[in-house]
Amino acid sequence: MSIEVDYAQRLGLTLGQKLTFNVAGIEQHATLTSLREVDWGSMQPNFFFVFSAPLTDAGSASYMASVYIAQKDRNKLGPLLRQQPTISMLDVDQILQQVQKVVGQLSLAVESILVMVLGAGVLVLIASIQASIDERRHESAILRTLGASKSLIRRVILVEYASLGWVAGLIAGLSAEALVALLQYQVFNMPAQLHWPLWLLSPFIGMVLIGSFGWWFNRSVVTAPPLRTLSKA
């Protein structure tokens, strides 16, 4: 008898052990002689236990097959099952739809985490701008007194906040990727996969979003007259 390796570990079975099975009311004994690995994600028929022919011949046999049924012929399944009540059918389409639903929810979780992290970054940015607006006006006034143009100061502000946005987007992407990998490995028992579009889009979105916010809230820094700003200092 052969057994799937993960199932053997779950039951605490080792090679050479003898097991007793009830096959159609008849007790049958089998010795565990091998372990095998099964890729359950391949959607191919497989089993936890595989027995030798003498044991399986002792009871009634069950057969398994895959059949494609067009959508327009699905209404014929009901009469078929009533005529053959011993047939058990598994709708693979429904299983795939459920898998796609889970994957969709996982993608939504990634997007939600990304939005929350970027949103938190924007709120922190706005608070820091409001707290340092007077200091920035004073710095801008000094720079303009020394000969810096308004366009140069605007570019400096834009580059500063765009850089902060790029870093914030990268951190958001890393956080989302780490959480999704944890869900895939711990909850769904799936190998972790990298989402490269997330790594490319999140820094770009953060750069555009936070850069725009920073430039917008710092407009008064550039337009304030230097003489008035320095006289208030």
pLDDT digits (tens, 9 = 90+) for 174-230: 877 887 788 777 776 677 777 777 778 888 888 888 888 888 887 777 777 766 667
Confidence (pLDDT) at 55: 62
- Positive or negative, the CA dihedral 37, 39, 44, 47 is positive
Residue 233 clears pLDDT 60, i.e. is over it? no
User: What is the residue extent of each domain of the chain?
Assistant: 2-64, 93-232
How many CB atoms lie under 10 A from the CB of residue 45? 8
Retrieve residue 34's tokens: 């091998």
**Which tens digits make up the pLDDT trace of 43-61?**
677 788 887 766 655 556 6
Span 162-184, average pLDDT: 82
CA atoms of 88 and 154, how far apart (whole Å)? 71
Closest CA to 174 of 105, 103, 214, 118: 118
Confidence (pLDDT) at 46: 78
Most confident of 63-67, 69-73, 218-222: 69-73
How many CB atoms lie under 10 A from the CB of residue 56? 14
Confidence (pLDDT) at 198: 76
Name residues whose C-beta falls within 8 Å of residue 147's C-beta, 6 or more positions apart in sequence: none
Name residues whose C-beta falls within 8 Å of residue 173's C-beta, 6 or more positions apart in sequence: 114, 198, 199, 201, 202, 203
Mean pLDDT score across all residues of the chain = 79
Rounded to the nearest 10 degrees, what angle do helices 150-182 and 196-217 cross at? 140
Q: How far apart are the first and last CA of the chain?
A: 88
Residue 134 clears pLDDT 80, i.e. is over it? no
Q: Which residue has the tokens 């920073």?
A: 214
Q: Decide if 232 contacts 135 (C-beta within 8 A).
A: no
Return the higher-pLDDT residue of 62 and 233.
62
b (16+ CB within 10 A) / e for 8-24: beeeeeeeeeeeeeeee
Query: Percentage of the chain with pLDDT > 70?
Result: 89
Retrieve residue 195's tokens: 């989402």
Q: Decide if 59 contacts 27 (C-beta within 8 A).
A: no
